[in-house]
Structure 1
């Protein structure tokens, strides 16, 4: 077939029941892409449906766990084609054939696939053939589900997500979970496996309950994902985010039973709103600003026995009573805050305490004595005099001894 503009053929990938897959290169984006060419040409009535159907697929493929659809079109012979992202990593079926996945890895993968299915269901699209062989792996390790481009979407009805098809998709996800955890097709799981001993009881019960649900019943994809998140929490594992987006006009689907939380306008008198403070009219009497504060609600006292209580919450919103003008960084001393039971909590100013008088004492500066150096100067003189005196005494004694000796000899 004639390739779309800007693509060059590299090699043939695979042939399926409905289409052929070709690996091509997008020169403008400098990347490899997969061109899925359907064998059966579109009829004239289907040519009108095809552009809107592929636009919905492109919008849905923005989900991180769905294979990206770059563009779509028809060839010169009327055959439709879709340009998909190329996932070079092994798909989930090849990975599972090598061995069962660990419990944390399986939980993380299944929750991401739950987000993909729930987003598709909210967009009015059902998969119809959920299985591990239709989950590719991106170069970043994320799952990429393929197969939303069924003939029912491309050639027929605008919405394919009914109660029965949604339940069938979730059941297919439960089959994929069993195959992930056992490493074998679901038909062979009855043989038993040593790895099954490590599967938590809550996870096994959830999978079996989903598989045993009657046709058209069972949890939604979001409920199944939330149950898996609770199992992660019980196992003290990081909680995987459930990526769910409202793609398409979900509000127009009357068969959508999902419980959602939406933003809507409030009605009635019981409301909490943010308002701006209005400037006072010129010449109007100055009044305290209208402020709302949180105050503690008192329990019913003896004086309130038998009174009707609005609710039993421990806190409520109450308005402050008018107060005198407030100066900058100073609150008037007679300010009072009113509480619901009539009591008043006053803010009393602290009593002004007289500052103690400080007794000032005059401390004279001590007189520094300078006799230290003189005493140090007299010390050497006394030592010299003592040495001379001792020398004179010694010399005198020696002279006396000599004289006596000489005199005795004569």
Structure 2
């Protein structure tokens, strides 16, 4: 297996002095620089020289523009500058956050209910702010929530964001453990309620110390996770200090069908504020511009949705992903599973306001056509007369007992820029076939994603210049190859 690739050389930037490497990504590296005037530390995200095709440049420009549009919000990363270095590489300069982000914390710390509620409400205000200007984040997860020097969460990495109205299409990239069922369907669709699901899944991870449908000590492949996300009731958190009302909020926000979720991130925040009030905790205020505020009376019914109705914006082309993250090594604690989903509350509590600043950008960039997998039909009640915009495609029961072949002829060749192009053959192609693939490493399970074609491009990842991948055929009905095909190239 291979080690991680060497970092790219930090560019020379006028007015900044290089300090050290912060992180590596598939198509960009993040460095710590010291700005000369005003004097401060900043995080600089720099595209790799070998990834400067038109699609990646467009994704990078989209990320810069969206972050600039939203970075005035106290719980969204602040961007200071976007430019082209002397060596031709685009870069973003952002405010640097030195404290551990949620990706590190949820695996290693016991996060209190009080803090999880406070973080959840502040993140919900950030998501609502994005929605209010017509932007869907589409990849809310712990790795995309950094922590400012003052302890505030800061949402980052809008690289695969889309404008409202585009919804979730075949080009949507997402991290499977925190993705809603409608983004994992054969024909992905999504709206604000998809971000609501991922927001709640992130809060769940903070409380549980694992991803929502991860089975401690069990099999947690991408196929396993997708099947559970689509069919399995949300597992209990396994903590005695989490009140039933909080679990009920998360359960509703993560309902299988979008029509059963909260209609907005603001509604999630109000419900979390109600939990705070019921527990006798100080109610965390929200940062929501032009919203009727009631910080001292969170028990009031929700205000009119007109206050936060989404406004049309200029259409921004979505980015193209490379691979979707799968969970880290599972924890060892066993968790019971609910037999019946909880009843939905009839009303939602009200809102308030608050404050924060910024962070660095997540290093991993997703690139490839992620069209999701429907491993089996969801056992769910769609509810009475759902609207067409609330529907998402789920195939019928998966056919069992019919073998799906493994790919053949998998091989890779190194290109002049160091990128490896792997190709393979589907010996028995069928309509709707797609391919689950990932880069193998010595540190754990591969990061997996779906592509519709029989080839992928991979940047070099090891000191020895070798890259190894695995590929599985996935049918439209959810069946897949019994064993992935693996190959290396150097």
TM-score band, normalised by shorter chain: 0.5 to 0.7
C-alpha separation in 2, matches of 1:194 and 1:145: 24
**Is residue 28 from structure 1 mapped to residue 88 from structure 2 by the alignment?**
no
- Computing the radius of gyration from Cα coordinates, the structure with the larger value is 1
Paired residue for 2:374? Answer: none
The 5 Å alignment of 1:326-365 reads: none
Q: 2:81 aligns with which of 61, 71, 83?
A: 71
Q: 1:245 to 1:159 in 2, by over 3 A?
A: farther
TM-score, structure 1 length as denominator? 0.54
- Please, which of 23, 41, 54 is the counterpart of residue 43 of structure 1? 54
The answer to whether residue 136 in structure 2 is matched with residue 126 in structure 1 is yes
Return the offset for 1:251. Answer: 3.3
Matches within 5 A, 1:199-348: 199-215=242-258, 218-219=261-262, 220-245=264-289, 251-252=311-312
1:346-380 Cα shifts (integer Å, max 9, x gaps): xxxxxxxxxxxxxxxxxxxxxxxxxxxxxxxxxxx
Secondary structure of the structure 2 residue equivalent to 1:33: strand
Q: Secondary structure of the residue that 2:196 maps to in structure 1? A: helix
Secondary structure, in 3 states, of the residue corresponding to 1:11?
strand
Q: What is the match of residue 475 of structure 2? A: none
Confirm or deny: 8 A CA contact 2:12 2:86 kept in the other structure. no
Instruction: Indicate if the aligned counterparts of 2:113 and 2:242 stay in contact, CA closer than 8 A.
Output: yes
Per the alignment, in what secondary structure is the counterpart of residue 254 of structure 2? helix
Aligned to 2:20: 11
The aligned counterpart of 2:241 is: 198
Partner of 1:171: 197
Q: Could you report, residue by residue, the CA deviation over 1:266-288 in whole angstroms, capped at 9, with x for unpaired residues?
A: xxxxxxxxxxxxxxxxxxxxxxx
SS of residue matched to 1:251: coil
Q: What are the Cα deviations for residues 238-268 of structure 1, in whole angstroms up to 9, with x where unaligned? A: 1111112379x9533599xxxxxxxxxxxxx
> Which residue, 84, 89, 100 being the options, matches 2:99?
89
- Native 8 Å contact 1:22 1:35 kept in 2: yes
C-alpha distance in structure 1 between counterparts of 2:127 and 2:117, whole Å: 15
* 1:4 CA displacement: 3.0
Cα distance change of structure 1 residues 16 and 232 upon mapping to structure 2, 3 Å threshold: same
CA contact (8 A) 2:116 2:203 kept: yes
CA distance in 1, matches of 2:117, 2:273: 8
CA distance in 1: counterparts of 2:194 and 2:265, whole angstroms:
10
**Is 1:61 the equivalent of 2:71?**
yes
SS at match of 1:174: helix
Distance in 2 separating the partners of 1:238 and 1:230: 11
| Counterpart Cα distance in 2 of 1:175 and 1:230 | 19
Which structure has more relative contact order (CA 8 Å, sep 6+)? It is 2
From the two aligned structures, give the one with the greater helix fraction.
1
CA distance in 1, matches of 2:36, 2:202: 37
Q: Counterparts of 1:158 and 1:174 in 2: how far apart (Å)?
A: 20
Identify which of 208, 217, 228 aligns with 1:182: 208
Which structure 1 segments of 5+ residues have no match?
A: 256-410
In structure 1, distance between residues paired with 2:32 and 2:164: 30
Q: Cα distance 1:62–1:161, how it changes in 2: closer, same or farther (>3 A)?
A: farther
1:378 maps to: none
Q: Structure 2 length as normaliser, TM-score?
A: 0.46
Structure 1's 189 and 230: CA in aligned 2 closer, same or farther, altered over 3 A?
farther
SS at match of 2:98: coil
- The answer as to whether partners of 2:67 and 2:77 remain within 8 angstroms in 1 is no
What is the alpha-carbon distance in structure 2 between the residues aligned to residue 215 and residue 51 of structure 1?
A: 31
Stretches of structure 2 that go unaligned for 5 or more consecutive residues are 1-9, 169-188, 218-234, 292-308, 316-490
The one-character-per-residue Cα deviations of 1:173-231 (angstroms, maximum 9, x if unpaired) are: 11111111122222346898896221111111111122223157622111111111111
Contact map agreement 1:65 1:142 (CA 8 A) in 2: yes
**Cα distance change, pair 15–85 in 1 and its aligned pair in 2 (3 A):** same
Structure 1 residue 98 corresponds to structure 2 residue 108: yes
Tell me, yes or no, if the aligned pair for 2:134 and 2:312 is still in contact at 8 Å.
no
Measured after TM superposition, the shift of residue 168 of structure 1 is 2.0
C-alpha deviations, 1:19-46, integer Å up to 9, x for none?
A: 1111111011111111101233363996
SS of equivalent residue, structure 1 residue 197: coil
Rounded Cα–Cα distance in structure 2 between residues aligned with 1:207 and 1:167 = 13
Once residues 158 and 74 of structure 1 are traced to their aligned partners in structure 2, the CA distance between those partners, rounded to angstroms, is 29
- In structure 2, the CA distance between the partners of 1:88 and 1:160, relative to structure 1 (3 Å rule), is farther
Aligned residue pairs: how many? 251
Distance 1:250 1:176, change over 3 A: closer
User: Using a 3 Å threshold, how does the CA distance of structure 1 residues 76 and 103 change in structure 2: closer, same or farther?
Assistant: same
Instruction: Give, in whole Å, the separation in 2 of the partners of 1:188 and 1:52.
Output: 32
The whole-number CA distance in structure 1 between the counterparts of 2:257 and 2:115 is 29
Q: 1:212 to 1:3 in 2, by over 3 A?
A: same
Cα 1:254–1:215 change in 2 (3 A) is: farther
